[in-house]
Amino acid sequence: MDRLIQADGQPRIGIFPRGPALVNHRDFDLRSPMGRRLGRLAKWRRFHQFQYFGLISDELIGGCALADLSLLGAGFVYLYHPASGRRVERQFRLPLGLGKRFSQAPDDGICELSWRGNRLRMDNRGGVKRLDVALDDGLHIEASFDEQAFQPMHICTPTGPTGWVYARKVAGVRCDGQVRSPLGAFDLQALDCFAHHDWSAGYMRPETYWNWACLSGVAQGQRVGLNLSCGVNETSFSENCFWLDGELVPVGGVRFEFQRDRPLAPWRIRSGDGRVELTFAGCGLHAERVNALLLASNFKQVYGRFDGWLRPPGRAAIRLDNLWGFVEDHYAKW
């Protein structure tokens, strides 16, 4: 697929074996809920884009996100060392687009936040996903993976009366690279580290809310990855899936049961089709809260361990035992 937005100004909707080379959002025929055609300023203001790169191993957990919210560039990075319980983290908020660069080519572009000697960069060129973090406190991350023999999830769904969201997701793929931090130096290949990657963009609901879960690791001799959500990409089609040795297995709608005021308390996650049955125990979280005039966010990403079952159709069920991963509870107004 060359472009997501077609000649008639409408996006291609569905789940695709391959994603678009370009998310050409400026060609979208954006309308108000009452049908009035909106111009360039509205297209700029309402288009939002983000990426997330997660690192998962028994010895090191990490997450890095970049977001372009038109009026604001935002990002965070954190590392957690399970053996010691220590964590390092940084947050960045760059007003009015200062220091941000975002490409709309999911497989051939660079997204970056750069500010006063600090850089968060995700490079998606050449069939390789790369994370490059360099901070003024000495934290450096260089991580990468390729997707040979792997089947990413590509999806575009309608949102609200006139919007849409495109998402490209991967979980359960091994990565390599180096980390230097106050927690120590780590060789990701030696740690048998896995990665998760999410590239999402579109005209999302002005006020939205979602839960999300992701894990990676090895279970019963198979590489396992998982991506589940409730609240965003489930209009007509669902992004819910898991991967077994790189093969994508679709999953139906899911239910997240948890205590919103106690995100580290146990979570239960079940799919209506019976293919996913999980419990999650949190070990720590990254939280952010913004309440500005035009933007608001109440974000909690919890890292911890999953137990439970995956049941691929026509195959034996797979037991998950103490696998690391993430869950999210997020409200946003943008």
pLDDT tens for 278-293 read 999 999 999 999 888 7
pLDDT band at 309 (very low <50, low <70, confident <90, very high): very high
Query: pLDDT tens, 120-166?
Result: 999 999 889 999 999 999 999 999 999 888 999 999 999 989 999 99
Burial 170-190 (b: 16+ CB within 10 A, else e): bbbbbbbbebebebeebebee
Query: pLDDT tens, 23-38?
Result: 999 999 999 999 999 9
pLDDT at residue 242 tops 80: yes
pLDDT band at 294 (very low <50, low <70, confident <90, very high): confident
d(CA 143, CA 184): 16
**What is the arithmetic mean of pLDDT over 265-280?**
98
**What is the arithmetic mean of pLDDT over 289-308?**
93
- Whole-number average pLDDT of the chain: 96
pLDDT at residue 231 tops 90: no
Structural domains present in the chain: 14-333 (2.40.370.10)
Q: Which residue is it, tokens 């909106």?
A: 38
The two three-digit tokens of residue 64, written as one number:
């890095």
Q: What is the pLDDT of residue 222?
A: 97
Phi, psi of 46 (to 5 degrees): -95, -10
Contact (Cβ atoms closer than 8 angstroms) between residue 175 and residue 284: no
Query: pLDDT tens, 64-105?
Result: 999 999 999 999 999 999 999 999 999 999 998 789 999 999
The residue among 298, 321, 299 whose CA lies nearest residue 309 is: 321
Sheet holding 48-56, edge to edge: 14-16, 153-159, 163-174, 194-203, 48-56, 61-68, 72-81, 86-95
pLDDT band at 57 (very low <50, low <70, confident <90, very high): very high
Q: What is the pLDDT of residue 128?
A: 95
What's the pTM value of the predicted model, to 2 decimals? 0.96
Q: Which residue is it, tokens 């990002």?
A: 75
**What is the arithmetic mean of pLDDT over 10-29?**
97
Give the H or E element holding residue 12.
none
pLDDT at residue 232 tops 90: no
Q: What is the pLDDT of residue 234?
A: 82
